[in-house]
Amino acid sequence: MAKTYIPKADDFEFIGSRDLNVDLNFASQGYWKGVAVHFLRNRLAVTGVVIVGVIILFAIFAPILSSYGYQEIVSVNDTGKELVAKSLPPQIADGSAQNLFADKTFLFGTDDMGRDLWTRTWHGARISLIIAFVAIFIDMLIGTSYGLISGYFGGLVDNILQRFIEIAGSIPTLVIISILAIFMEKGIGLVISSLLLTEWIGMSKIARAECLKLKEREYVLASRTLGAGSFHIIFKQILPNTIGPIITQVMFSIPVAIFTEAFLSFVGVGIVLPQCSLGSLIEAGFGNITILPYQILPPITVLAFLMLGFNLIGDGFREALAPKLEDM
C-alpha cells in the first residue's frame, strides 16, 4: 500500500476520447440470466436441485432396472413348495446359500406380502411425483388465469370472483376432501381432485396481486393506448412478468401436494392396492413398525428429502427473484 509511486513520462497525458456513457458497473444482463446467476450462487438451492434431481432419476429408472415388478411377489420353489420372500430385512445377494433367498438382492428388504421394497419405494415416489406435478400444473393454469382475469378487469368482475374465492377459501381442506371422498372412487383421481380444489386459490391470489401491480405500468398503458385487446395484454404482456412469483409458488405447492397425497393415502382414501405411493407405503410400514421397523424407513426418507429439496428450491427462487440488498 505505502509504496511510493514512481512517476511515468506520460502520466499527465489525457486518456483521450472514450465513450463515457457506457456504464461498466451495471453492464447489461438479462433479467433471467441475473436470476439464474443468483440462484446458482445459492448453495442451498443447488443442493435442493441435486436432491430432487437424484430422486426423480431414481423414480424413473429404478423400477425399470429392477429385477422385480412393483407388484411382483417374490418366491422360490423349494422342493415343490412355493416359498414367498415375506418380510425379509435388507440384504445383498452373496450366494452363501445360508438361506433360500441368498442369491437375491433386496436393498430395502421386502414387505409382508413378499414384494421388493426397493422397487416399491421408487415406484411409489414416481406415483407421488406424478400426482404432484399433474395437480400443481393444472392448479397453476387455473389459478393464474383466474387471478389475472380478476386483477386485470377489476371492478364488478373482480368483486364477484374475489367473493367466490373468499367463500371457497373458507371451506377447510378436510371438508373438501370428505365431500370428494363421498363422490369419487378412492384412488389417484380423488387425490388429484382434492389438490385441484384447494391449491389453485393461493396461485390466483399471487397472480392477481402481480397483475394489479403490473397493469398500471407504462408499457401496459402504452399498448392499451395503441389499441391492444385485453387478452393480448393479459397473456402477452402481463403473464410473462408474473412467471417468477408463480414458479416460486409452484415450488412451494409441490411439496404440499406430495404431503397431501401421503396423508390421504395414509388415512385410507388415497392410493389403493396394488398400486402404491409414498403415503400408502408409509401406512403399510406403520402397521408393522414394532416388528419390522426397517419397512417404514425408505418411504419416509424419500418423502422427507423430496419435501426438503422442493422447499430449498422454492426458497432459492424467492431469493433470486427479489435479492435483498445485503446479498448483492
Partner 1 sequence: MSKYVAKRILMSALTLFVIIFVLFVLIRIMPGNPFPVERMSAELILQKRAELGLDKPILIQFADYMSMLLQGSFGNGTSLYNGAPIKPIMFACLENSFKVGVLSILFGTTIGLGLGIVAALNRGKFLDGLCTVVSILGVCIPSYVFMIFLQYFFAYKIPFFPYFFDPSQFLFSSIMPSLSLSLFSISTVARFTRNEMIEVMNSDYVKLAEAKGLYGFELLRRHVLRNALIPIVTVIAPLVVDLVTGAMVIEKIYGINGAGSLMVNAIAGDGVDYNYVLALGIVFSALYIAVMLALDILYGIIDPRIRLATKEG
Partner 2 sequence: MGISMNEKIILSVENLDITFRTNAGNVHAIRGVNFDLPAGKTLALVGESGSGKSVTMKAVAGLLDDNATINSGKIFYRQADGNVIDLLTLSKKNLRRTINGQQIAMIFQDPMTSLDPTMRIGEQIAETILLHKKISTSDANKRAVELLQLVGLNEPEKRVKNYPHQLSGGQRQRVVIAIALSCEPKILICDEPTTALDVTIQARILDLIQDLQAKMGLSVIFITHDLGVVARVADFVKVMYAGKIIEAGTVDEIFFDPRHPYTWGLLSAMPDLETNDDRLYSIPGSPPNLLHEPKGDAFAARNQFAMKIDEREEPPMFQISETHFAATWLLHPDAPKVEMPAQLRERLARARKAANLQ
Identity of the residue, 220 or 257, whose beta carbon is nearer to partner 1 in the bound complex = 257
Does 26 help bind partner 2 (rule: CB under 8 A)? Answer: yes
Minimum distance, C-beta of residue 268 to partner 1, in the bound complex (Å):
4
- Minimal CA–CA distance to 213: which of 160, 275, 130, 154? 154
Torsion of CA 75, 79, 80, 83, to 10 degrees: -20
- Looking at residues 18 to 47 of the shown chain, list those that interact with partner 1 (rule: CB under 8 A): none
- Looking at residues 144 to 183 of the shown chain, list those that interact with partner 1 (rule: CB under 8 A): 166-167, 170-175, 177-179, 181-183
Does 24 help bind partner 2 (rule: CB under 8 A)? Answer: yes
> 10 Å Cβ neighbour count for 84?
16
Does 2 help bind partner 2 (rule: CB under 8 A)? Answer: no
Identity of the residue, 131 or 177, whose beta carbon is nearer to partner 1 in the bound complex = 177
Does 20 help bind partner 2 (rule: CB under 8 A)? Answer: yes
Identity of the residue, 151 or 255, whose beta carbon is nearer to partner 1 in the bound complex = 255
Cell numbers given for 136? 400443481
Identity of the residue, 25 or 96, whose beta carbon is nearer to partner 2 in the bound complex = 25
Q: Which of 98, 231, 286, 327 binds partner 2 (CB under 8 A)?
A: 327
Does 15 help bind partner 2 (rule: CB under 8 A)? Answer: yes
Does 50 help bind partner 1 (rule: CB under 8 A)? Answer: no
Minimum distance, C-beta of residue 286 to partner 1, in the bound complex (Å):
6
CA distance 224 to 219: 9
Identity of the residue, 150 or 295, whose beta carbon is nearer to partner 1 in the bound complex = 295
CB 146 within 8 A of CB 201: no
Torsion of CA 126, 129, 131, 135, to 10 degrees: -160
Length of the chain: 328
| 13 SS3 class | coil
Q: Which long-range contacts (CB under 8 A, 24 or more apart) does 140-144 make?
A: 140/203, 140/246, 140/250, 142/196, 142/200, 142/203, 142/204, 143/199, 143/200, 143/201, 143/202, 143/203, 143/204, 143/206, 143/207, 144/203, 144/204, 144/207, 144/239, 144/242, 144/246
Q: Under the rule (CB under 8 A), what is the footprint of partner 1? A: 166-167, 170-175, 177-179, 181-183, 255, 259, 262-263, 266-269, 282, 286, 289-290, 293, 296, 300, 303-305, 307-308, 311
Q: Under the rule (CB under 8 A), what is the footprint of partner 2? A: 5, 7-8, 10-15, 20-26, 326-328
